[in-house]
Amino acid sequence: MAELKIIGGGLAGCEAAWQAAQRGVKVKLYEMKPVQFSPAHTNPDLCELVCSNSLKGAGLDNACGLLKEEMRRMGSLVIACADETSVPAGGALAVDRDKFAALVTKRIREHENIEIINELVGDINPDEYTIVASGPLTHGSLCDAIARLTGAEYLSFYDAAAPVIETESIDFDKVYKSARYGKGTADYINCPMDKDEYTAFYEALINAERAPLHEDIDKPNVFEGCMPVEIMASRGVDTLRFGPLKPKGLPDPKTGREPYAVVQLRQDNTEGTMFNMVGFQTNLKFGEQKRVFSMIPGLENANFLRLGVMHHNTYINSPEVLKATFGMINYPKVYFAGQITGVEGYVESAVSGLMAGMNAAKAMKGEEELVLPTSTVTGALSNYITVGAVKGRFQPMNANFGIIEHHVGRIKNKKERYLAIAEEALQSLGEALGN
């Protein structure tokens, strides 16, 4: 049987390689690291998480939690490794990013059907079975090869990463650990602000100097989920207080009252020596980040282990060029997976790799490819990205309950409603997989 070539060893490429290899297909996984690193990648291992260490909500009342559960039931490598390397994060699934990448790399390296080739790929041969999973920061002439195959103009926007702080540099006399509304474990560090502190911080933030970009990031093609904190702040003085700095359900134990605003920090590694600033993706100049973020109570002497950055992001016009299987309409042996298809997020990228890897393997073995029903979140997301989105107005999409088809009637309580939809989705998945 022919071999499957996968370009890119990130979230999507690793999951795709695993799925195909588990079905008996020989895989050559091409990854340009450590020969070449993108501006956001630093770890030579596969499956690197470039920004937050959170894979979002763990519960079934969260669409990304449901997505992870569907993936578990489909034998996902990425989710299995995330479960094994998780760190405490309240209701979310967060991981120790280095342990996570090392574990995925080990599993891939040990698989008898996978060969890892550390090489920069510059072209695509449409006559070979190939999955393109080179991510939002696709490097070099591969971009031109993709443009030639898709025949479509690239769409692009910017993604942003938040700073990471050394835990021992946080002033624990000023901050407190708690869970919102006392639900779950108190894993987040909360930095409370009174009105004067917030106002001074807000003024400094909106007036701070931003790093230059090749494109105006105020344009609407900045995806909402990656909005830099300074751009969000510039929408109005209270926007942050109703967004990432929301104090609701987080009373300060010193006063017993909810502060005016709260900056939250989330654990970033197993040892708990690093915390990242939740919602603080930013494009401020490095010196400005240190100056402005050190105004946050508790962070006056913070040691910033990593500062926020913004990067170009590239994705193809999937609804015009892909089938619901993630294979190309015009080149049946070529598949796309990951952020480059327009899915948004770590887990979403991995699930598109799961479907592309499974379907490429099925096609190579002469089996019928699988398209999951839109009553599952995997099927709904795949459908939206490949065929469902409005042509000409395609924007990246993450997992959410809005795209799932269901028969759940009116349930007032949102959590109960989502749980009912999730139950239906898991049942549909079981039926589609023949379980």
Ligand X SMILES: Cc1cc2nc3c(=O)[nH]c(=O)nc-3n(C[C@H](O)[C@H](O)[C@H](O)COP(=O)(O)OP(=O)(O)OC[C@H]3O[C@@H](n4cnc5c(N)ncnc54)[C@H](O)[C@@H]3O)c2cc1C
Which chain residues interact with ligand X by CB under 6 A?
7-13, 30-33, 38, 40-41, 50-52, 120-121, 133-140, 142, 159, 161, 311, 313, 338-340, 345-346, 349
Q: Residue 140 or 373: which CB sits closer to ligand X? A: 140
The one-letter amino acid code at 282 reads T
Distances (CA, A) of 218 to 157, 193, 233: 10, 27, 12
Helix (H) or strand (E) run with residue 5 in it = strand 4-7
Instruction: Name the CA dihedral angle for 195, 197, 199, 201, rounded to a multiple of 10 degrees.
Output: -150
The one-letter amino acid code at 128 reads E
Q: How many CA atoms lie within 13 A of 26 on its CB side?
A: 4
Residue nearest to ligand X (CB): 10
Q: Which of 126, 124, 58, 127 is nearest to 86 (CA)?
A: 58
- Could you give the CA distance from residue 101 to residue 81 in angstroms, rounded to a whole number? 8
Q: Residue 313 or 318: which CB sits closer to ligand X? A: 313
Least Å from the CB of residue 153 to ligand X = 19
Residues 421 and 413 sit within 8 Å (Cβ to Cβ): no
Least Å from the CB of residue 334 to ligand X = 15
Q: Residue 131 or 193: which CB sits closer to ligand X? A: 131
Least Å from the CB of residue 304 to ligand X = 16
Residues 311 and 137 sit within 8 Å (Cβ to Cβ): yes
Looking at the chain, how many residues does it have? 435
Displacement of CA 64 from its chain's centroid (Å): 10
- Could you give the CA distance from residue 227 to residue 233 in angstroms, rounded to a whole number? 10
Least Å from the CB of residue 24 to ligand X = 23
Least Å from the CB of residue 114 to ligand X = 15
Q: Residue 12 or 389: which CB sits closer to ligand X? A: 12
Least Å from the CB of residue 176 to ligand X = 25
Q: Residue 142 or 233: which CB sits closer to ligand X? A: 142
Q: Residue 146 or 193: which CB sits closer to ligand X? A: 146
Q: Residue 198 or 304: which CB sits closer to ligand X? A: 304
Least Å from the CB of residue 56 to ligand X = 7
Least Å from the CB of residue 107 to ligand X = 16
Q: Residue 80 or 432: which CB sits closer to ligand X? A: 80
Burial per residue of 375-405, b for 16 or more beta-carbon CB atoms within 10 angstroms, e otherwise: bbbbbbbbbbbbbebeeeebebbbbebebbe
- Could you give the CA distance from residue 425 to residue 196 in angstroms, rounded to a whole number? 48
